[in-house]
Amino acid sequence: MQNFRAIIRRRHFLGVAGTLSAASVFSKFAFAAAAAKPKVGIIGAGRMGGGLGTALAKAGYQVMFSSRKPEELKDLVAAAGPNAQAGTVEQAVAFGDIALLVVPYSAMPALAKQVGPVLAKKPLVFDVSNPSPQRDGAEGEKALQEGPAEYLAKLMPGIKVVRGFNSTGFASIPSPNLPSGGRRGTAMVGEDAKAVEIASTLVRDIGFEPVIIGPLNLGKYLYRPSTYFNGNQSPDEIRAIAKTIKP
């Protein structure tokens, strides 16, 4: 089976080649893309990173949780099952075709030094983290003022960020269906087309419906105190609310 990196390279080639439009070539490629799931390096294995990683592992993704004390992640790995393992932050970033960033914003400057250049080479950094000055101090305040994606782009130039699940409580992750029926939506922002596509597939694969509400500068509406979203809305409700938001 082709691996995820080969598929991404091939997708780029197809985009450039343009003329390779035979339906059979495309459908074979689409099948391969559906079959191969990117490996996910997870930075931050607390309530939210642990919950999302567990859901991904159960959905067939190979995941590596990370912590500054990876030896403390044994129970999480055991609960997530055979597709999960644990390592240091550097190991998880090296392992992942893509990265999930689920930490307090106070951790970002250290992470930028530790793994920023490697993250910049990934097709997707899925940022679930929210800035909170009360919790994250000066870095939280800075990210709040600049906007989280803008803040991250300065710290880690070149990273392809998509933000999502920011307004979904960790307790909802194992329950992607609304009590009223139907999938929960998750409001997301992103600009890089390939990153948005990979992130959207990942969200669908764990049972949620991605709703891209716009570019990264709308990310400030995904978390408290400005959020319009609460993790308990249907995709249609999110789309309706998104129409009322102005950058």
Catalog residues that contact ligand NAP under the rule CB under 6 A: 43-49, 67-69, 89, 102-104, 107, 110-111, 128-130, 132, 165-166, 168-170
Quick check: 232 and 178 in contact, CB under 8 A?
yes
User: Cα–Cα–Cα angle for 119, 124, 127, nearest 5°?
Assistant: 85
Quick check: 166 and 177 in contact, CB under 8 A?
no
Quick check: 166 and 200 in contact, CB under 8 A?
no
Query: Residues 17, 23, 203, 75: is their CA dihedral positive or negative?
Result: negative
State the residue for tokens 């992750």.
Answer: 173
Which helix (H) or strand (E) segment is 186 a member of?
strand 185-190
Distance CA 149, CA 144 (A): 10
DSSP string, 2-60: --HHHHHHHHHHHHHH-----HHHHHHHHHHHHHPPPPEEEE--SHHHHHHHHHHHHTT
Nearest to 49 by CA among 82, 94, 84, 4: 84
- Strands of the sheet containing 125-127, edge to edge, are 84-87, 63-66, 40-43, 98-101, 125-127, 161-163, 185-190, 209-214
Distance CA 148, CA 28 (A): 38
